[in-house]
């Protein structure tokens, strides 16, 4: 309580100096320095939420001086302090209403607005990513996906950065078991990658675009095997994807972003899923694991689990 009272007293004292007086302008620069010094003391004392309040006061002062870089920097510092306070609450299982997290999200949102007003979309996108990563670390994939999506929107002129952000959106959707939404995002990624990709001899994608397209192709095939859409409900582009992996397909249908080995393994996977051959799937799992990412391995595990233990239908569904 003494520490709280001491902080409030010093905070009010500094704030009081900012009040306008007759024939005297407040010394805003001095107040910024004093708020900054107080935030450093509070940071050492592990009073993160109070340090965040001091940084917010600094941001307001910087706004008064029309110093956009200083305002953004203070807002980011405030957000980091509030996130630290939220992490402490979670690690100690302290009951709360996530007020520190809400304050951090608001600070980041305001900093993004400042950068957009200064025509700095790349910096705004980087802040969206920082916030999204923090939210994901707090097991809030739903909220994180919104900020990854906003980052992707701001990065549209930088296709590779945009695609990486969209990939994080898809990963969040998979984590939330929203497989339809993940499939939609991955399809959007494939369209964007093919529209903006760099091609080599023969028109094949090269470099990072090859890796991104290959990742999208594998993810989409696995999600389609997990969702098992009926012929009446499957989208034409997804039906076309599955047609490539039928035994009747010619070698010309092999995607340009996959190796022949991976294509044959995925083709075998599709056939095993369609015939519900659990034994073949288990054998394929051993061959696929070294070639898949952690997300792909998770999806493959879900496919095998679903086929091994199909959901029980109710009387109405039967």
Tens digits of residue pLDDT in 15-26: 877 776 655 677
- pLDDT bracket for residue 96 (50, 70, 90): confident
DSSP string, 193-237: HHHH--B-GGG-B-THHHHHHHHHHHHHHHHHHHH---TTTS-HH
Collect all residues with Cβ–Cβ distance below 8 Å to 96 and sequence separation of at least 6.
89
Beta bridge partners of 205: 199
pLDDT on residue 239 = 87
State the number of CA atoms in the 13 A half-sphere of 83 facing the CB: 20
Q: Are 262 and 292 in contact (CB under 8 A)?
A: no
Collect all residues with Cβ–Cβ distance below 8 Å to 125 and sequence separation of at least 6.
150, 151, 154, 155, 161, 165
- Please write the tens of the pLDDT for every residue from 20-77: 665 567 788 888 999 999 999 999 988 999 999 999 999 999 999 999 999 999 999 9
Beta bridge partners of 21: 24
* Residue 2 pLDDT exceeds 50: no
pLDDT on residue 313 = 46
Q: Return phi, psi of residue 205, to 5°.
A: -65, 150
- More reliable by pLDDT, 123 or 253: 123
As given in the structure block, the two tokens for residue 291 are 């070639």
Measured CA to CA in angstroms, residue 187 lies from 190, 198, 203 at distances of: 5, 19, 20
Q: Are 50 and 7 in contact (CB under 8 A)?
A: yes
Q: Return phi, psi of residue 304, to 5°.
A: -65, -40
CA 188 to chain centre: 16
Helices (H) and strands (E) in the chain — how many of each?
14, 0
- Which residue, chain included where needed, has tokens 């980091």? 80
Q: CA 154, CA 161: separation in Å to the nearest integer?
A: 10
pLDDT on residue 129 = 98
pLDDT on residue 1 = 44
- Domain edges within the chain: 11-119, 177-309
- Does domain 11-119 fall under CATH 1.25.40.10? My reply is yes
Determine what percent of the chain falls in helix, strand and coil, rounding each to the nearest 5.
75, 0, 25
- Please write the tens of the pLDDT for every residue from 220-262: 999 999 998 887 788 888 888 888 887 665 555 677 888 889 9
- Please write the tens of the pLDDT for every residue from 145-188: 999 999 999 999 999 999 999 999 999 999 999 999 999 999 99
Determine the angle formed by the axes of helices 121-137 and 141-154, rounding to 10 degrees: 170
pLDDT on residue 314 = 43
44-47-53-58 Cα dihedral, nearest 10 degrees = 0
As given in the structure block, the two tokens for residue 1 are 């309580």
- Please write the tens of the pLDDT for every residue from 203-219: 677 788 889 999 999 99
Q: Is 174 exposed, middle or buried (0-12, 13-18, 19+ CB in 10 A)?
A: buried
């Amino acid at each position: 309580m003494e520490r709280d009272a001491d902080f409030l007293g010093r905070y009010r004292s500094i704030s009081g100096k900012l009040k306008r007086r007759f024939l005297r302008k407040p010394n805003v620069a001095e107040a910024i320095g004093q708020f900054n010094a107080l935030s450093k003391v509070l940071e050492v004392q592990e009073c993160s939420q109070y340090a965040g309040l001091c940084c917010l006061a600094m941001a307001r002062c910087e706004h008064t001086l029309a110093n956009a870089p200083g305002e953004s920097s203070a807002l980011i510092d405030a957000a980091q302090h509030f996130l630290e306070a939220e992490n402490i609450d979670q690690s100690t299982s302290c009951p709360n209403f996530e007020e520190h997290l809400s304050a951090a999200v608001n600070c980041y949102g305001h900093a993004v607005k400042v950068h957009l007003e200064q025509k700095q979309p790349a910096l705004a996108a980087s802040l969206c990513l920082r916030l999204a990563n923090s939210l994901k670390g707090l097991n809030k994939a739903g909220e994180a996906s919104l900020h990854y999506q906003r980052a992707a929107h701001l990065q549209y002129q930088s296709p590779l950065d945009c695609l990486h952000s969209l990939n994080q959106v898809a990963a969040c959707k998979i984590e939330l078991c929203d497989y339809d939404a993940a499939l939609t995002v991955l399809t959007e990624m494939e369209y964007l990658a093919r529209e903006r990709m760099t091609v080599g001899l023969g028109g094949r994608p090269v470099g990072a675009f090859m890796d991104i397209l290959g990742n999208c192709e594998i993810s989409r095939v696995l999600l389609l095997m997990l969702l098992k859409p009926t012929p009446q409900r499957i989208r034409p582009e997804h039906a076309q994807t599955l047609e490539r992996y039928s035994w009747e397909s010619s070698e010309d249908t092999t995607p340009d972003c996959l190796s022949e080995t991976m294509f044959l393994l995925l083709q075998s996977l599709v056939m095993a899923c369609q015939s519900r051959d659990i034994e073949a799937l288990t054998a394929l799992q051993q061959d696929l694991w070294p070639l898949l990412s952690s997300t792909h391995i998770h999806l493959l595990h879900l496919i095998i689990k679903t086929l091994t233990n199909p959901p029980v239908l109710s009387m109405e569904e039967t």
